[in-house]
Amino acid sequence: MKYQFELNEQEEQPVLSIRTRTAVENLPKVIGEAYGKIMGYMAQLGEHPAGVPYTAYYNMDMQDLDVEMGFPVAKARPGQGDVQAGAIPAGRYVTCMYKGPYSQMEEPYNEITKWMAEKGYEPLGVSYEYYYNSPEEVPESELLTKIAIAIK
């Protein structure tokens, strides 16, 4: 499959998120529960997402993933309980749009990693997935996910 990579400069983006650790097989349940809690809290605040939901991956240990699920918000808001106030850092990111099932995302990750190495870009260790639709809305083959990897 052919992927198109872009280099983007991103401003800091305030978010409300939940960070946790989980095994990859539990990820869909963990993500769903986190989004539900965050949306419930946002409703209490009268806040709406300022963009699509995301998951940040701080490591790639499939048995002990360090992940953060969240929504961008228009301005910094206070956290509550598990829901934390934070931000996606400003900086340079390599991005790639992927269309297809989540179970086959290893290929675009391998390709983006190869492209970055060829261009001399060094990852900072955090990758983000932005979800433009969900398996409840469209068939797996139509899922749209933007991968963004922070670089030095």
Q: Six-digit token pair at 48?
A: 């709406």
Instruction: Please provide residue 125's backbone torsions phi and psi, each rounded to the nearest 5 degrees.
Output: 105, -5
71-121 pLDDT, tens digit per residue, is: 999 999 999 999 999 999 999 999 999 999 999 999 999 999 999 999 999
Average predicted confidence (pLDDT) for the chain: 95
* pTM for the predicted model, two decimal places: 0.94
Question: What pLDDT is recorded for position 1?
Answer: 60
9-32 pLDDT, tens digit per residue, is: 999 999 999 999 999 999 999 999
Task: Report the side by side order of strands in the sheet with 144-151.
Answer: 5-10, 91-99, 144-151, 123-131, 54-57, 65-72, 13-22, 84-88
Q: If one looks up domain 5-151 in CATH, what number appears? A: 3.20.80.10
